[in-house]
Structure 1
Amino acid sequence: MYKAIPKNKDVIIVTNQKDGSLSFIDAANKKIIASWPIHKAVMGTAVLPDHDTIAVYGQNLEVVYLYSLSKGTEVGEWKTGKGITNIIVSSSGKDILLADGQSNTVRLYNKNGTEIAAIPVGKRPMTMVERNNQLYVLNFNDTVLSVVGLKEKRVIDTISTPQSSLGAVIYGNELWIGGHGSGAEINENVYIYEGRSLKQKVSAPQMPVSFASDNEFIYVLSHGSGVLRKIDGNTHKDIAAIEVGANPFAVWLSGTALFVASYDSDEIYVIPTDTMKMGTSIKVGKGPFHMTERKGEEH
């Protein structure tokens, strides 16, 4: 049994890959409120529609583990087999979407944990973003993005993308995607699509792999250079940039604060969106790799 997380707290959930632990940060006061050493080969978490259960996954795990935050206990598991690289919940809250990099499918589960469909996509699906029942799936070992219709439960379109694409955000009618690059060629750009067409490339060296956005700006974290950029969503121009962390993998926006996971220094850096200057740093477990947020119940 682990330390319980109060239901009324907004918490940033950090997955620490090197030591197989979870760290919970109070989003309001930017302090650690609990650490769970679950000792599993974890890659990330997803908050399920009840706002209390989290699904913990990893591509080398045979099952997805379910934990209750308010109880601090494991409450179930889904026997998925190995290969789960990402889990998100659809905006409607009806579908839980699992990217399976081993079977090259997106698997749809309902809220009860029953698998409804397995939809073939490209090679090694990883990043997924969804809006209006359309799921955009980046296939890391492929050169196509799969557009899945959640109502149709099938791929309804494909879009050509660079090899090793990773990280995406939807802004207005645009889809922004990043990636590592392929072979010796490091990716230096964010690719902005409108519909099926590549609209523009925006420079963000090196290896832009994680994104966040608000109503005005896109925040782009470049893993290779350790630079976080603030880009105007309408003009696509850089507003500010800051070097942050050692080998940073993920950025998360909560309110007006950006949280950056620094993999090699075992810290989360907090950067206010208005100043884009270094704020506080929070010591977490070893190898913070992924973040998500559980919004608390209203008092």
Structure 2
Amino acid sequence: MKKKLTCLFFAVLVLSGCMNETYTQIPPDQAFISTINLKDGSLSFIDGNDYTELAKWELKKPITGGVLLPDQDTLMLYGKQMKSVNFYSFKKGKQIRKWDTGEGIVFAGLIHDNKVMALINQLHNRIDFFGLNGKEIASVKVGKGPISFVEDSDTNMLYVLNFHDTYVTVIHYENYKTVRKIPVNEFSTGLLIHKENDELWVGGHGKGATIEENIHIYSLDTGKLKRTIKAPSMPINFLQDGDATFIVSHGTSTLYKAQTNKKDLLSIKVGVNPFELVLFHKKLVVAGYDSNDVSIIDPDKMVVQHTIPVGKGPFHIVVRE
């Protein structure tokens, strides 16, 4: 009995120690770009005004992504090898709570007017839906190796991309039921909904010697392939801004710009093996995974204006404007 009590006391001390670790506090009015660095388990913070380093949180955890909550102060961090998703306060500079989700979380995002957190569990091939109070609402099985999703808020649909399967799972999140499957290539990566054209853009990574060179564009209405756009190689991430669509091609470290009614793509080289692309203060921010930096890009001129060093392996970007 004494041994059990000692073990319990030790476990409480370890948990308490993790929760009480403190990091550089980020003021509520501070705009920033933050990279989630996979290789060293850290967060890098860049001042949103002059692009200088604000702070670096050495969490030393297998984090791969994060979601900024509506309060603009709380960051939820997740990772496939983590047994929980952990919440941190910027102004307090510490962890404030966690949800015990189990291992397998590879992607997350707020949906349903920021009222619901959707979590992809790749180990169990499902999406778990939680209220912001931490209570699970529903769990829906999807295809093999789910990797990301996009929301169509007009129709309350969630489009889930399954990396190791040959379809996109479409879930109606009013009743949390699968309503259809859209056939796509295996090893697809990256999704974008073009509402004005009624299109679903799907990128790809490929496998082994078979490298994906094209973006596949499907009809949201029929689910059928409409056309392809060549964007070599490994077009894995998209961002739409007005009539322009930006594409990150991981294999050639290239950023492409596609514009409505223009056939040719504009392109520039950026970073080394980029994964992530976001918009911040009307500038594009691209994370170079193997160059350990972020690039600030003028989207109109397609010119790199700043290159800023960050931690090792920036894989995901969170911004607060």
Class of the TM-score when normalised by the shorter of the 2 chains:
over 0.9
Is 1:130 the counterpart of 2:151? The answer is yes
Q: Is the 8 A contact 1:192 1:199 kept in 2?
A: yes
Offset of 1:60 from its aligned partner? 0.9
Q: Give a deviation string over 1:144-189, Cα, whole Å, max 9, x none.
A: 1011111011211110011111111222222211111134211001
2:107 pairs, out of 59, 63, 86, with: 86
Q: Is the 8 A contact 1:49 1:89 kept in 2?
A: no
Write the distance in 1 (CA, Å) between the matches of 2:60 and 2:239: 29
Supply the AA of the counterpart residue of 1:177. V
- Give the 3-state SS of the residue equivalent to 2:305 in structure 1: coil
Counterpart of 1:228?
255
Q: For structure 1, which segment, 53-62 or 25-34, has the greater mean C-alpha deviation from structure 2 after superposition?
A: 25-34
Offset of 1:91 from its aligned partner? 5.0
2:274 pairs, out of 245, 248, 256, with: 248
Write the distance in 1 (CA, Å) between the matches of 2:186 and 2:262: 23
Supply the AA of the counterpart residue of 1:193. Y
Counterpart of 2:6?
none
- Give the 3-state SS of the residue equivalent to 1:291 in structure 2: strand
Write the distance in 2 (CA, Å) between the matches of 1:238 and 1:275: 15
Is 1:64 the counterpart of 2:85? The answer is yes
Supply the AA of the counterpart residue of 2:127. V
1:109 pairs, out of 130, 144, 147, with: 130
Counterpart of 1:154?
177
Structure with the greater alpha carbon radius of gyration: 2
- Give the 3-state SS of the residue equivalent to 1:28 in structure 2: coil
Write the distance in 2 (CA, Å) between the matches of 1:157 and 1:10: 40
Offset of 1:238 from its aligned partner? 3.3
Offset of 1:3 from its aligned partner? 1.3
Greater helix content: 2
Q: Is the 8 A contact 1:269 1:280 kept in 2?
A: yes
2:209 pairs, out of 176, 180, 184, with: 184
- Give the 3-state SS of the residue equivalent to 1:241 in structure 2: strand
Measured on the aligned residues, the alpha-carbon RMSD in Å equals 1.4
Counterpart of 1:2?
23
Is 1:210 the counterpart of 2:237? The answer is yes
Q: TM-score, structure 1 length as denominator?
A: 0.94
Counterpart of 1:284?
310
Write the distance in 2 (CA, Å) between the matches of 1:255 and 1:139: 32
Q: Give a deviation string over 1:172-223, Cα, whole Å, max 9, x none.
A: 2222111111342110011112211211100000001111111111100000
Q: Give a deviation string over 1:34-63, Cα, whole Å, max 9, x none.
A: 211110011111112322111111111111
2:199 pairs, out of 174, 179, 196, with: 174
Counterpart of 2:264?
238
Aligned length: 294
Supply the AA of the counterpart residue of 2:275. F
Write the distance in 1 (CA, Å) between the matches of 2:49 and 2:228: 35
Supply the AA of the counterpart residue of 1:65. N
Q: Is the 8 A contact 1:49 1:111 kept in 2?
A: no
Counterpart of 2:17?
none
Q: Is the 8 A contact 1:211 1:221 kept in 2?
A: yes
- Give the 3-state SS of the residue equivalent to 1:116 in structure 2: strand
Write the distance in 2 (CA, Å) between the matches of 1:221 and 1:46: 21
- Give the 3-state SS of the residue equivalent to 1:25 in structure 2: strand
Write the distance in 2 (CA, Å) between the matches of 1:272 and 1:31: 18
2:300 pairs, out of 248, 251, 274, with: 274
Unpaired runs of 5+ residues, structure 1, are: none
Write the distance in 1 (CA, Å) between the matches of 2:44 and 2:112: 25
Offset of 1:8 from its aligned partner? 2.1
Offset of 1:258 from its aligned partner? 0.9
List structure 1 segments (4+ residues) > 6 angstroms apart after TM superposition: none
Write the distance in 1 (CA, Å) between the matches of 2:50 and 2:225: 41
Supply the AA of the counterpart residue of 1:240. L
Supply the AA of the counterpart residue of 1:212. L
Write the distance in 2 (CA, Å) between the matches of 1:27 and 1:219: 21
1:95 pairs, out of 107, 116, 120, with: 116
Supply the AA of the counterpart residue of 1:219. F
- Give the 3-state SS of the residue equivalent to 2:257 in structure 1: strand
Unpaired runs of 5+ residues, structure 2, are: 1-21
Q: TM-score, structure 2 length as denominator?
A: 0.88
